[in-house]
Structure 1
Amino acid sequence: MNKFRKILVIILLISILIGFFCTVNAEKITYDVNYLTPLASNVYTLSNNSKVAENIELKQTLDGNYTQLQEWINNANNNNDKVEIEKSEIDTIEENVRKAGRLLLPEGNQQQGTNTQNNSQSNTDNQQSSTDTQTTQNNNQAKDTTDNDQESSEFGDTYYIPTSIKRVEGGNVYRVHANTRKGPKENQVLISPMNNDGRTYYLYRSSDSKLQRTMAFIAADLANNDNIHYEWGGKSLSQNLRKNNYTPTAITQLCGADCSMFVAASLETAFNKANTPKGPIEFYTDGMRDALPKYGFKAQYNSERHSIPDWGQSGKLEIGDILVVPAKESEGEFGHTFIFLGPYYTSGKIAPSSSGAYGNGTSGGYTAEGEEIDDKQNIDEKSFRFSGLPGDVTYEGELTPIRNFFAKIGDFIDYLLGLIFLVIKIIIIGFVNIAYNIFLSIVSLMKK
C-alpha cells in the first residue's frame, strides 16, 4: 500500500512539473481591445496595400492575422473588453507588420545609398529593392535596409506607416490641411507647399514626437483619399474613421471636415494608433489655443507668430507641429490651421518647389537634407545645457556611430537584466508552486 502511495505521489509531482513548464512555454497575457483594434487596423491597411499584395505569401498571412484579430476583438467585446492571448501569437503578428512595413519604402528611398557600401552588400540590398529599379542605378546605389525595427528609415519613429507619400529631396518641405470648399477635391484637402497666405501663425508642439509624426502621416493619407473633401464644420470624417477602426485607407464613403476638424480627426486617430485613446476629439479654429494643451500640445517660442514661409525657412519646425491662427486674430477674413508634414509629398505626383528647413525645433535647426543651417555648438540657450559638439546629432536625431554603439550596449544591458529577472521569477514561482503542491499531497496522504 505504501509503495502504491509513493507511485501516486511521484505521478502527481510529474504532472505538476509538466503543467508548470507548459504554462511557462505558452505564456498568456490579457490584452485590451484598445490595443487589438489599432493593431487590426494596421494589419488591414498593410494587407490591402498594392506593394504588399505583390508578396502573395505575406498578403495571405496578413489576411489570416486580420481574421484572427477580429475574432479576438469580438471575444474581448463580450468579456469586458479584455481577452487572453498567447504572447507568441501577438509577437508573430507584430513581426509580420514590420515585414510588410519594410516593403512600403518608396522608390526614391530604394535608390538611396552610400559610397562606402561594397559591391557584395550592394547586390544583396538590390535584391530587396523593387524589380523595376534600373540595373545601372542598382550598381551605384542601394536600398538602406539597416533599420529592421518597427521604425522605418523612410518615415522615422511612428505608430503608423503611410502608404501614399514619398520623401522629397532637395530641401523641400510641405504642409497638409483642409484648405477650401471651392474647386475640385484635390484643391480642398491636400498636401501643399509652404506658400504665404497673408496670415501669421502660432506654433504648437507635443512632447511626444512619435505621436506628432503619426498624426502628420495619418493626415497625409487622409488628404490623398479621394473620398475626403472639405466640409464646413463637418464631422463625417471623424465618424467614418471610428467606423473603420481608424484606418485612413479603409474610408470608402464620401465624408468631410474643415481645417480644424481635419486636424482633430488626425489627432484622434494618432492617439488610437498609439494605444492611448482619448475618445472623440472635436474643436474649431477659434478654440484650438485652449483645446490643444488638453492633448499635450503647447505653444512654442513664447507664442511668436510668423508667416508660413518664415516658419518654413526658420528650421524650428518639427514634423507634426500644428500651426494655427484664430479668426479673431487673423490678418485675413478667416482663421486657419494645418499640420507641418516636412519633406514628404504625394507619391506619383511631381512635388512642387517648397524650399524650407526643419529639424529638432532648436534655433538653427536642420535642412530637409539633414545639414545644419549654422555651425554653432548645440547649446540650449534657455537652459544653458551643452548637448554635444557640431555633428554629434545628424538627420532626424540619428546618433553618430559612437553614440549608437553605447546606445546598443545600454539596450543589451536592459535586455540582459530583464532576462535575468524573468528567470529568477520563473524559478521562484515554480519552486513555490511545486512546494505548495507537495505540501497539499502530503497532507492529503496523511489524512488517509
Structure 2
Amino acid sequence: MRCFMLHIACLCIASSLCAIGDDIDEAMRKSVPPQLKFLRVYGGDDESMPPIALTSRPTNLRRPNIPFNFSHVTIELDIQSPTPPQMFVVFSHCNADWSEHDNSFLNDPALLRTSSIDWRIAPPASVWYSYTGTLKIPNEHVKFNFGGNWKAKFYLYDDPQIPIAIAHFFVVDPRVETRLEVSGDFYSPRNTVYSSGAYTIDANVRSVDGMNDGQLNTAVFYRLNRYEEPFIVSDISSYEDVNQRTHAYPLQTMLAGFGMTGRRFRIERIPAENEYRVLNLADYSLFPRSNAPLRMLTPDLWRNGSFFEKSDGGFMNTRFIATGDRDYIQLEFLLNTQLIQAEREVFVSGSFNNWKPDPSWLMKWDEETKLYRLRQWVPRGRHSYLYMTGEVDADNRKAIRLTSEEFEGNTARAGHTFIGLIYYREFGMGGFDSIVGVAGGSVYGSW
C-alpha cells in the first residue's frame, strides 16, 4: 500500500512539473516579440511589376502615357508571432537617394498612417513563419498626393520606436514623356579572364505642360525587381556619390540639355551580369514539403557569360502555388567553383532576399568538398538568383559593391530589363523631389 501511494505521489509530482514546464514554454513563446521573415513589394496585384503607384491627386489631368500606371502597390510581409501582430504603418517621403528629410508639409504622421493590414495564417505545418500580412496602398485611409520615393515603416504597438520592417515604393505624378534606350557596351573587369559585357542607358525626357526642364535634375535607373541597387545620374553631387558607395566599378555619367529643350540622362559601363539562375521550388517532386533540410540536387557550376535557361526576370513567382502551400524550405546552396576560392566574400543574392543579401546569406568554403555552401530558409516559389562577391558594410551589416563577374560572367545577351525614374525639383511645399516620369527598356526594346 505504501509503495502504491508513493507511486501515485511521484506521478502527481511529475504531472505538476510537466504542467509547469508547459506553462513556462508557453510564457516564453508569448514573450518572444514578432520577427520579420520576408517582405516584398510590387505594383498593383502583379508580383512581377515594379512597386509604382500613381499619385492620388495628379498635378496635370492630361497625363502622358507611362508603362507602369498602377492605382496601388501591394506590400506583403511574413511574420513569426504567436498571435496576429498588432502593428501600424507610418509613411514618409524621401529624397531620390532614399535619405529621409524633415519636410513637414509632406510628412504628416497624423494623415500618413494606417493599421489596416490583412493578416492570413500560415500553412499548419509551417515552422518558419506564422502569419502573412498584406497591405494595399493608397487606400481609404492613406492618400499620396506627392510623387517621389516613399517608405512604409511597420511598427509594433508594444514598441513604437524601432520599425520591425521598412518597405520602399515609388509614387509617380506623370508630367514628362520619357524614352529609355539600353545598348550593349564593355567595361574593364578586375581580371581579364572575366567576360566584359556591359550596358549603356540613355533616358531622353521632354515635358508636356510647360515645366522648366532645368528642374529635371535626376534620373535613377534600376534593374527590374532589384530596387536596392540604384544607378544615379544627377546634377546633385550627393546623389551621384551613391554610385561609388553601392557599386564595385566607377560609372560614367552625363546630363545634357537645359531651358525648355528637354534633358538627356546617360550612364555608361554598367556590368551586364549574366542571365539569372533559376531555382524552381514550385516543383514538389524535387522539393517536397518538409521542415528537414534539403540539398540542391547537384552543385551549381561556375559560369562565364554562358546560360541555357531564361529566368522570370528577377521576381519571386508564386502564381502556381496555392495559398495553403506557401511554406518555406530549408535549402542548402552548393557552388562548384572548380577549386577557385573567391578574392572577396561570396553571397547568394536573389528574389528570395529581395536582391539585398546580408551576412546571413554569406557562403562558406568547405575544404573537404571543395564547394561553397550555405543553408537558408527560402520561400516556396520560382526564384531568380546569382552568386555575387562583395563586402559587408560595417555600419549597416549589408552586402555592398557586389559584382557577379567572378562566378557568373557578363553578357548583354541576358537582356536585363531596366526602369528609369525621372525626378523634378518642386520649389513649393518646402521643396522636394517628385517623380514625374518613368520608362522601361532592355537591349531588345523600350516601352
Structure with max Cα Rg: 1
The TM-score, its normalising length taken from structure 1, stands at 0.26
Name which structure has the greater RCO, CA cutoff 8 Å, separation 6+.
2
Greater share of residues in helix: 1
The TM-score, its normalising length taken from structure 2, stands at 0.26
Greater share of residues in strand: 2
